[in-house]
A and B are shown apart, each in its own frame.
Chain A
Amino acid sequence: EPEVTQTPSHQVTQMGQEVILRCVPISNHLYFYWYRQILGQKVEFLVSFYNNEISEKSEIFDDQFSVERPDGSNFTLKIRSTKLEDSAMYFCASSDPWGQGGGSYNSPLHFGNGTRLTVT
C-alpha cells in the first residue's frame, strides 16, 4: 500500500537555526498538509497546500514557516529560525481529492511517520 514518507525521522537543531523537513506524499494525491504534535498533546493543523499554493493556514503558521513543492514528488516545511517551542513531532499528510465523498475536506488524510524536531 502506498505510504507517505518523511525524512529525517529525528532532527536536532540549535535555537535560531533553520530546518527543512521533507515529505514525499502518495503519488496520486493532490492535497498536502503539515501538522504538528507536541508530546502528549493534540494534533495541530499548520497548513494545507493544493495546486502549488497554500490553501489554508493556521495561526501557528507564521512568517517563520514556509512550504514548498520543489519538484513533482517532494513537499517541504521550512522553519527559518527555530525556537525552543518548535520542538514537536511534525507530521506530513496527503489526501486524494477523489476519495470518499470527493473534495479535499471529505477525503481521509494519510499521515507519514513524522519527524521529531528537537530544538536545543
Chain B
Amino acid sequence: GQQVMQIPQYQHVQEGEDFTTYCNSSTTLSNIQWYKQRPGGHPVFLIQLVKSGEVKKQKRLTFQFGEAKKNSSLHITATQTTDVGTYFCAGTGNQFYFGTGTSLTVIP
C-alpha cells in the first residue's frame, strides 16, 4: 500500500529557531494536506497543496509541494511555544494516507 514517511520523527528547537519537516510518498499524490495535532488533541487542517511545485505561506509557515508530487515540506520560521505539536502530512490518492508525523517541541 501507499507509504507516506516524514522526517524527522522528533525535533526539539529553541524558541526562535526555524523548523522543517519533510514528507515523502512512495507514489505520486493527487494533492497533499498538512495537519497539526496539539498534545491530547485532534488533527486540525492547515493547508492543501495541489499543483506541482506549489508554494503556499501562512504567516510563519511555508508549505511546498515537490515537482514530482511525491514529496512536500513544512517550514516554520522563528518558532514559538504555540507551534508545539505533531505535524502530519496527508497524501491523497484513493484514500487519505497520513504520514508518520513530526513531533515538535519548542524550548522557551
Residues of A within 8 A of B (CB): 33, 35, 42-45, 48, 56, 58-59, 91, 100-101, 105-106, 108-114
The verdict on B1 contacting chain A, using a C-beta distance below 8 Å, is yes
The verdict on B97 contacting chain A, using a C-beta distance below 8 Å, is yes
The verdict on B101 contacting chain A, using a C-beta distance below 8 Å, is yes
CB of B10, distance to nearest CB on chain A (Å) = 10
Partner of B48, one of A44, A58, A108, A114: A108
Chain A residues whose C-beta falls within 8 Å of the C-beta of B41 in the assembled complex: 113
CB of B18, distance to nearest CB on chain A (Å) = 24
* Structural contact, B96 and A109, CB atoms closer than 8 A: yes
The verdict on B59 contacting chain A, using a C-beta distance below 8 Å, is no
Chain B residues whose C-beta falls within 8 Å of the C-beta of A111 in the assembled complex: 42-44
CB of A33, distance to nearest CB on chain B (Å) = 7
* Structural contact, B94 and A56, CB atoms closer than 8 A: yes
Interface size on B, residues (CB 8 A): 25
Chain B residues whose C-beta falls within 8 Å of the C-beta of A43 in the assembled complex: 35, 37, 43, 88, 90, 98, 101
A-side interface mostly: mixed
* Structural contact, B100 and A42, CB atoms closer than 8 A: yes
* Structural contact, A106 and B31, CB atoms closer than 8 A: yes
Partner of A105, one of B31, B88, B98: B31
CA distance A98 to B101 in the complex (A): 27
**Which of B42, B88, B90 is most buried by chain A, counting CB atoms within 10 A of its CB?**
B42
